Structure 1
Amino acid sequence: MSELAGPVEVVGAGLLGTSVGLACRRAGLEVLLSDVKPSHVRTASGLGAGRPRRPQDRPQLVVVAVPPDHLAEAIVAALEGSDAVVTDVGSVKGAPLAEVTEAVTPEALARYVGSHPMAGSERSGPLAASAALFDGRPWAVTPHAGASPEAVELVDELARVCGAVAVRLDPADHDLAVARISHVPHLAAVLVAAQLAKAPADHLALSGQGVRDVTRIAASDPGLWQQIVGANADAVLGLLAQVRADLDALIDAIDGAHHGDATALGAVLARGVAGTAAIPGKHGGPVRPMASVFVSVPDHPGELARLFGDAGQAGVNIEDVHIDHDPGRPVGLTELVVAEEHTERLLAALESRGWTTHR
């Protein structure tokens, strides 16, 4: 297996690039930073993600973390500017690979291996970065037919160094996969969120955690997502055609339910349940039955810590948490998601410590 000893150069010190730098520094590797915006390099350096690249530096691995519209040219520049292995963290693989293949020699192309960590945030820029951003997350490694085995192993090692789990995919399979699990869900969230933009204030006053969950990712940078979706248009359009057909079927099903036959609507809703159950569970394992315990938490410093401490004293692991603030009172309704078999134990323990709870 190829050993990643560094230095690692990161081209593009935004959210992902700075997070790669922080994760590599956490592992003790030297990191070199470059960006068209000097302020990003200064900020990332100040956060401890590395130091500015100098002309005499000789990186072992270059990680390109620039916006999709500039990805191919940055990969080509990295391949032609050094003898390092080059990867990128872009969310689309096929289109950049085609451009790079046209622009460089087969010998240089052998040093390029695309990759894509499945982690991010609706926030952007180096200040949103974290060394833990990739911990436990899948990291797609997408070698092309001409990639050298040593280069592929080095990119696998980068994923492991950053705390992620390397997953090998063909570039075309990757693009279809991310269209299905990332790009189309993002567009669906955008459409739902857009319905809220001109909604009456008294309608929006009823907003709860459900609408926040569905629309959260729609707050991401529109310019970046315009580039992402445009670069993966073929895969996205194919899936959106299926969604359009499903939407027509849903409209017909609701109309049928309105006229007394809810069979078709029940079938559509059941397919949604089946889809959520198909998502891998914790640590990639099978989905475990989960249940929610709702707790009223005063909006005061230290109350959440006390709640988590009491749950820990009960010996119950909290798998997920959501907080919905009551607009009329200084109280938050906190949803603790736990393994179903631990629900009664948690309810009893919290109620014995004075918490107001319900299922």
Structure 2
Amino acid sequence: MRSAAVIGTGLIGTSVALALSRRGVSVYLSDADAGTARTAAAMGAGRLGPPESPVDLAVFAVPPARISAEVARWQRAGLARAYTDVGSVKARPGRELSDLGGDPASYVGGHPLAGGERSGPLAARGDLFQGRYWVLTASDHTDQTVFNHALEMVSLCGAVPVVMDTAAHDSAVALTSHAPHLLAALMAGRLAEAEDGAVRISGQGLRDMTRIAGGDPGLWSEILDANAAAVADVLASVADDLERAVLALRTLADKDATAAERSRRELAELLRLGNTGRARIPQKEGRPPLELTAVPVEISDRPGALAHLLADAGASGVNIEDVRIEHVPDPPRGLVELMVERSAAGPLSTSLRNSGWPLRK
């Protein structure tokens, strides 16, 4: 691949452009917001304006509702020899492209499973996709050369290609991304008019559960619209379990001694099912789930304390799989949980204790 065009210079589009530019590909940038495109160009992601001749591949990093129309428009203009996108829903753009008079043979759907909590080109990184999955959804019409161009782009970005059927992809992301986002938003919505005192004592569990609810409502409305049926199926199954939980809790609240034991078993079964599902989520992509345990360490609330702790943890020779931080207000301090494989918890605890760190039980 010698040349590419990136349409849409937000976080994902600019990250794609940076990755390709660093591998020697000539990248041309375009965005409806000229200022955003100029920022991406100033970061070294590529040059502004359309190319003089067709590029090898055009990558569309635009909102889901605009993908098919943008691809069809640029196909008619002869922008590239091959076209792909980075949207999180794949079935609808493929259907709509044909309806709009586009060429399905020169298009392959794509979805990099990477992102960030910040948006815009300034949040972009050339290594954003390193080691991450990148789904490609070729249709029966997709030309093999077009598919090969998309595969090469994935490789140049350092990602791992995964080939999926469009329907299978959309069902999968409904379960693992779209429905969880909506559920997080619904839970966070309970806080909108809650008493200040209740919100003030929020714990880490609520922060973890509602973190993704901070996403852009406009973008997520489009994503849910594009994958509505699959998300509705997931929520319907969750609603069935919610109904079971509500009935069991009402029974316990009503002090119905006859049905109480059955209700407790019902709740325990729902909680065990959650344990089982949670354990299936890989801590590292492409690897089986690890059995992790926490090494809790108390640190002072001052600059550099966390860096000092991580440096000492690194000196122990133990690989830290994850880090969780909780702030304690009175007195101001932090509780850091260093997540490691179970067999490494003992050596790490001993090393940190010898370095003077106070470990929590």
TM-score, normalised with respect to structure 1: 0.94
Distance 2:82 2:145 in 1: 9
Matched, 1:75 2:77: no
The whole-number CA distance in structure 2 between the counterparts of 1:206 and 1:252 is 28
Match of residue 330, structure 1, among 329, 332, 336:
332
Alignment of 1:298-337 (within 5 A): 298-337=300-339
Cα–Cα, structure 1 residues 174 and 283, in superposed 2: closer, same or farther, change >3 Å?
A: closer
Question: Of the candidates 139, 164, 167, which is equivalent to residue 172 of structure 1?
Answer: 167
**What do the CA deviations read for 1:218-262 (whole angstroms, capped 9, x no partner)?**
000000001110111111112211111111011123345555311
- 2:301 & 2:24 partners in 1: Cα distance? 40
> Contact between 1:123 and 1:220, CA under 8 Å: does it hold in 2?
no
| Mapped pair 1:91 → 2:93 | no
How many angstroms does 1:69 deviate by? Answer: 1.6
CA contact (8 A) 1:9 1:33 kept: yes
- What's the CA shift for 1:280? 2.8
1:126 is matched by which residue type in structure 2? P
CA contact (8 A) 2:9 2:37 kept: yes
Distance in 1, matches of 2:135 and 2:97, equals 19
Match of 1:185 among 180, 187, 193: 180
Contact 1:142 1:168 in 2 (8 A): yes
1:18-167 counterparts in 2 under 5 A? 18-82=14-78, 83-104=80-101, 108-167=103-162
Q: Give SS of 1:341's match.
A: helix
The offset of 1:168, in angstroms, is 0.5
Give the distance between the partners of 2:210 and 2:88, measured in 1 at CA.
Answer: 20
Which ranges of structure 2 fall in alignment gaps of 5 or more residues?
none
Superimposed CA distance per residue, residues 155-177 of structure 1 (whole angstroms, 9 cap, x where no aligned partner): 12212211211111111111111
The answer to which of 161-170 and 122-131 deviates more is 122-131
SS of the counterpart of 1:39? Answer: helix
Please give the per-residue CA displacement for 1:262-298, whole angstroms capped at 9, x wherever unaligned. Answer: 1111110011011111223424121111001111122
Report whether the alignment pairs 1:342 with 2:337: no
**1:330, CA displacement in angstroms?**
3.3
CA RMSD of superposed structures (Å)? 1.5
| TM-superposition CA deviations, 1:72-122 (whole Å, max 9, x none) | 1111122222242000001111111111012236xx321100000111223
| Conservation of the 8 A alpha-carbon contact between 1:209 and 1:322 | no
Structure 1, unaligned runs of 5 or more: none
In structure 1, what is the equivalent of residue 282 of structure 2? 280
**Counterpart-to-counterpart distance in 2, 1:206 and 1:344:** 32
Q: Deviations over 1:141-200 (max 9, x none)?
A: 000111011211221221221121111111111111111110000011001111112222
Q: In the aligned structure 2, how far is the partner of 1:26 from the partner of 1:211?
A: 40
Q: 2:202 and 2:349 mapped to 1: Cα distance?
A: 26
Letter in 2 for 1:119: A
Q: Whole-Å Cα distance in 1 between the matches of residues 14 and 346 of structure 2?
A: 43
Q: How many residues align?
A: 353
What's the % identity of the aligned pairs?
A: 43
1:290 equivalenced with 2:292 (yes/no):
yes
Instruction: Confirm or deny: 8 A CA contact 2:12 2:124 kept in the other structure.
Output: yes
CA contact (8 A) 1:295 1:358 kept: yes
Select which of 219, 244, 247 maps to 2:242.
247
SS in 2 for 1:338: strand
Q: Is the 8 A contact 1:141 1:169 kept in 2?
A: yes
Q: What amino acid does structure 2 have at the position aligned with 1:288? A: L
Q: Distance in 1 between matches of 2:324 and 2:283?
A: 18
Judge conservation of contact 2:81–2:146 (CA < 8 Å) in 1.
no
Aligned residue for 1:204, secondary structure, equals helix
Contact preservation (8 Å) 1:60, 1:85: yes
Q: Tell me the TM-score normalised to structure 2 length.
A: 0.94
Partner SS for 2:24: coil
Name the aligned partner's letter for residue 130 of structure 1: R
The answer to whether the 8 Å contact 2:316/2:348 transfers is yes
Quick one: which of 193, 201, 208 aligns to 2:196?
201
Measure the CA separation in 1 of the matches of 2:77 and 2:311. 53
Paired letter, 1:12: G
3-state SS in 2 of match to 1:355: coil
Instruction: Give the SS at the match of 2:106.
Output: coil
Please tell me the residue identity of whatever aligns with 1:210.
G
For the Cα contact (< 8 Å) 1:25–1:50, is it kept in 2?
A: yes
Equivalent residue of 2:219, what SS? helix
**Counterpart code for 2:66:** H
Output the amino acid matched with 2:321. E
